Amino acid sequence: MSKKISSVDKINEPTLHELLLMVDAKLNHIEDITADNRAVIIKLAKQSNQIVQFLKKIEIEDITDEFENIMSPPTSESEKLRSNKMQELKELVGEFTERHDELKEFEEELEKHKEDLTPGTIGES
């Protein structure tokens, strides 16, 4: 069905019909791809909403007093190891809360400029 057409060819009714059929097939293919992409985006949005709901349920207690007690000079090797693990955990929790705050700020900034964004295009910053 696909026939090579050059610019010198006259477009008669059968050729025009073939061209329109090819355009129609390509448009249908693009519609199918768009529908698939939309379905994937919806699944991702639902999944991210579930993650956010899960993270909202997690309660982080203030355990800095416990860290201060633990950070006193350890006497044995196991206490030193435990102290190092607690310090790493404290740093990890701090990093998590910092990134969480940055993510909130980023989401707010995206909401402010939502109308200026065009999905699928990459531009200069």
Question: Alpha-carbon distance 98 to 101, whole Å?
Answer: 5
CB 60 within 8 A of CB 93: yes
Residue range 51-105, pLDDT digits in tens: 988 888 887 776 666 666 655 555 677 778 888 888 899 999 989 999 988 888 8
Q: Number of folded domains in the chain?
A: 2
pLDDT value for 22: 94
Average pLDDT over residues 23-48: 94
Asked, for residue 4, whether it belongs to a domain, the answer is: no
* Distances, alpha carbon 30 to alpha carbons 5, 27, 33, 42, 113, in Å: 23, 5, 5, 18, 28
- Are 63 and 108 in the same domain? yes
- Are 38 and 63 in the same domain? no
Instruction: Tell me the helix, strand and coil percentages in the chain, rounded to 5.
Output: 75, 0, 25
pLDDT value for 114: 78
Asked, for residue 125, whether it belongs to a domain, the answer is: no
Domain span at residue 98? 59-114
- Are 48 and 89 in the same domain? no
CB 95 within 8 A of CB 102: no
- Are 19 and 66 in the same domain? no
Asked, for residue 43, whether it belongs to a domain, the answer is: yes
Asked, for residue 37, whether it belongs to a domain, the answer is: yes
pTM (two decimals): 0.36
